[in-house]
Amino acid sequence: MDRPLQMDQHSLVTAWKEQLPTTMDDGESFRVLADDGNRSSLLIHFDAAGHQAYSLDFRCTYVDSREVAVDLLDVEQSGRHTDERTEAVQQLAQRYTRQIHECAQALQGLTNP
């Protein structure tokens, strides 16, 4: 049976900040913030490694205590909005989406006790 997320948002953000680096490559950085508009969502910002200077923003929403929905919100290159349909951006978006899902899966012991 699907159960709603019971974990408070502050604890969830802390757990994600600790777990997410284990899925990332060297040189990449990220920020995890609470989504003030939805207590079941997190806002995750990635700065990609390399000379392309891409940054991607995602919303990760807990559908229930085990499953997350991931939405790409924004893509920037060197601080400017850029087309998210390019192959390079699509590859980054897919990789970060996979990392978000891996992190959510690793945290199921906390989110789905």
pLDDT value at residue 1? 52
Residue 51 pLDDT greater than 80, yes or no: no
Q: What is the CATH number of domain 9-111?
A: 3.30.530
Judged on CB neighbours under 10 Å (0-12, 13-18, 19+), 84 is middle
Per domain, the residue ranges of the chain are 9-111
69-107 pLDDT, tens digit each: 999 999 999 989 998 899 989 999 999 999 999 999 999
Residue 31 pLDDT greater than 60, yes or no: yes
For residues 95 and 32, give the distance between their C-alpha atoms in angstroms, rounded to a whole number.
17
